[in-house]
Chains A and B, each alone.
Chain A
Amino acid sequence: MPNFSSQSTSGDQSHILMIRMDNAKIISHILKAINFKENSVFCCTKDGLKVTVEDMKSVQLNAFIEPVVFQSYVIKEEEIKFQLNLTVLLECLNVFGSNNLQSGTSPALKLYYNGHGTPVSILLEESGVITDCKIRTVHFDPVLDYDFGSANVIGRIIMSSECLKEVFCELDSTSDTVQFSLSPDSANFRITTFGHSGTYHVDIPKESDVIETLHCTSAVSFKYKLTLMKPSIKPLGIAQKVSLRIDDTGLVCFQFMIKVEDNHNCYIDFYCPADVDFEEDE
C-alpha cells in the first residue's frame, strides 16, 4: 500500500489544509463529473470538502466529499476557500492514466495548501513513481448561495439516475427548453420538450419501479433552458440515485448520490433556476 507517512516531515506544520487518500481516482471521478467549466471554488470545512463550479451565475454544480472518504483530512482553520482551474487539477490527478474507478492500479494522493496566495501542492504516487504538481490558486470570486429551504419545496422525487439519464440524453435538442411537470392529481412526472418537429412528452408514473418517492403539494410546471440542464448529465451518469426538488420559484435542485469505495457516498448538487421568460414563451 503506497503511502506518504514516511515523507511527513517538518513541512507539515505550515499546511493549513492537508488531505491524504490512498485512491486518488475517487476524487478525480467525482470532480470529472462537475467539470463543465474550468473555474472551481474549493471550500474546506471540518465537515468536508465542497467544490463548486458555476456558469453564467445561474447553474451551479457542487460536489461534496466527506472527510471519511479521505484517509486523513487535517484542517487548521474554520473555513478555507480557494479557486483554481479544475481542468488542470484533473490533468494532474490523471497523470498516471485515467482509467475508470474499478480497474487498474490507483495512485495515492497527498494534497496540501498553505494559505491565501500559495499554490495547491499535489503529490501522487503510483508503484514508486512520484509526481509533484503545484497548481496556482487565484483569489476566489464569491459563488451563488442558493438558499434552498425545504419549506418552499413543492415537488420532490427520488428516482434511479440511470433512467433519468436515458430520458435526458434523448431529449429533443431542437427544443430551447425542457419542462418538468408534477401535479398531485396525475401520478406522473412529466418531462416535455418543444422542438421544431413537435412536442414530446415523457411520462414516468409514480408507481414505476424507477421512482422511489414522488411528492408534490401543488401542481408544478416549470420550464428550464435545455442548455443549462446539460451539465447535469455527467453526474447522472455516475450516480446511483437522484433526488429532484423544485421550490415555489421554480428553482430545481438535483442531488446525486454517488457510491464510492467502502460504502461511502459522495454527493453532487445541481441547481438551475427556472426560465424567467417562461410566460412569454407560451
Chain B
Amino acid sequence: MKCLLDGTSVKVLARAIHSLAKIGDELHIAPTENGLTLKTVNASKSAYSAFNFHIPFFLDYSHISENTVQADPDDDTVIKCKLPMKSILSVFRSIGSLEKSVETCKIMLPLLEALLIIEFKCKHGIVKHFNLRYFECESVEAEFSKEGYPSKFSCSSRFYSETLLSFHSSTQEVTWSLAMDQVHLSNHIDDEIDPSKCVRTEVTLAKDEFIEFNVALCTQVTFCLKELRAILAFAEALKLDLDCRMEGAGQPVLFSLQKEDLYSADFLLATLSPALDSTVSVSSRTAKHEVSASNHPSPVPTLRNKTDSKSISHGNLLGSRNGSRVNLPTPSVRQTSVNDTPENTSRLNSLSLIEPHPFPDMEVDLEPEIQPPPAKRARARYIFQNCLKSTQEFRERQTEVFAPDSEEDE
C-alpha cells in the first residue's frame, strides 16, 4: 500500500486516529481497492469503529504493495496489519503542529520490510520519517448493514454535543428513548448506585430539531457515552452531520458520517440489554419469550412519578442553533422505588465481530455472544417478576460472562 496525502487530509487523518484512539487500543489498517480503512475495536468488543478514506481523499493511492513482481492484485500483495494506538499516536500526536508544518504525507506498507512507513514533508524542506513496527493480521470486521434499522435520525454533530453537555461529565451511559415525534435522553442509573443519591438528567429533543427523523419503532436503548464522545470529537471538528440508526435494546446502534466522496465512518456501539442479573447472556434468551407478552409498551416511559422531588432533573442552557431549541422536560423523573432500578441489572452486549486470525474457532465461539434480541422495551417491572419466578438455574451459570461490564474499560 502506498498513498500520498496533502496537508488538509493529514489533519483529517490525524483527527480520525485521535478519535479511534479514544475507543480502542489497537489500530487496524486495511488497504482496499477503494481506499484505506482504519478500524478499531474496544477491549470489551462493545464498540467498533471504522473510517474509510476513499480514493479522492488521497493525492495518490495504490493498495497493492510495492516491489511486487506481478501487478496482480491478489491478496498476498496487500498487507493488512494492526499496530498499537500508542505508536501511531506518537506520529500524529499534535494536530496543531501537523497542521502548521506538514505539507505532504506519504504512508507506505512495503511488502519487503515489515514496517509501516510514514513520511512527512514539512516546511523548510524538513523530512520526518517514521518506521513503525506492526503485527500482520487479518483485519477485524463487524457484520452490519445500514439497511434494516427501523429508526434513523440525523442531525449536526454540534447538536449532539450540545445535548450531551447537559449530562454530567461522569455520566457513562445514556438511555435514548425513541418516540414517533421525539427522542428522549436520560442518564442510565446503575443498580450499584443508590438511586436516591444520584442526579438524574433528562433531555427531550423534538422531531423538528433533526435534519432527518424517521422513527418506525418506539424503543429504548442504552449505551456508553465514551465512544459517542470520541465520535463527536471527530465529527464536530470537521462540522459533519451524524446519522444514527437504532433498532432496540440489546441491538447495536450505528452512527455514521460521510464527507462527500472523501471519507466516511461507521461506529457500531453495543447497547445494554435489560436483564435479570449478570447472567443475561444466557437468560435473555429465555426472558425473551416471557417478556414478549408485553409487546406494546407505550412510547413514554411508564414508570414516571412526577411528584417525586427527590431526584433532580437538571436542564442546561443549550445555545440555540439556527433557531433550534432543546425541549427541556418539566422536572419529571422516574420512580426510585426499590422494585425498579436495583433489580433491573443491565449489561452491555458485545458486538459480534469476525476476527478470524487469532483463534480459528473464534467464529463458533462468538455465536453465543450474539445475543437474541431481548424484547423491545421490556419493562423493568416485568423482568422483576421474572426474576422472582425461576432464576436458580441461571444463577448457576454465572461464570458465562462473555464480555466484562463496560464500566471496567475505563
Contacts and interface: CB of A to CB of B under 8 A. Distances in A.
B132 A198 contact: yes
Contacts of B83: 197
A201 to B, nearest CB: 4
A47 interface: no
Interface string A186-209: 000000000111111111110111
Contact of B87 (A166, A197, A203): A197
B128 A201 contact: yes
A68 interface: no
Interface string B78-95: 000001101110100110
B115 A200 contact: no
A196 B87 contact: yes
Interface stretch (B46-54, B119-127, B308-316): B119-127
Contacts of A219: none
B379 interface: no
Interface in B61-106: 83-84, 86-88, 90, 93-94, 97, 101
A181 B39 CA distance: 37
A198 B97 contact: no
A207 B125 contact: yes
A210 interface: yes
A208 to B, nearest CB: 4
Contacts of A209: 124-125
Given A170-B93, A197-B83, A210 B131 contact: no
Interface in B117-152: 124-133
Q: How large is the interface on A (under 10, 10 to 19, 20 to 34, 35 or more residues)?
A: 20 to 34
Given A170-B93, A203-B129, A198 B124 contact: no
Nearest to A209: B124
A170 B124 CA distance: 16
Nearest to A194: B131
Contacts of A197: 83-84, 86-88, 90, 132-133
A205 B125 contact: yes
A199 B131 contact: yes
Contacts of A204: 124-126
Contacts of B128: 200-203
Give the top 9 A-B pairs by smallest Cβ distance, nearest first. Answer: A197-B87, A201-B129, A208-B125, A198-B132, A203-B127, A198-B131, A208-B124, A210-B124, A205-B125
Interface of B: 83-84, 86-88, 90, 93-94, 97, 101, 115-116, 124-133
19 contacts: A163-B124, A170-B94, A172-B90, A195-B87, A198-B116, A198-B133, A200-B130, A200-B131, A201-B127, A201-B129, A202-B127, A202-B129, A203-B127, A203-B128, A204-B125, A204-B126, A205-B127, A208-B125, A209-B124
Interface of A: 163, 166-167, 170, 172, 174, 195-205, 207-210
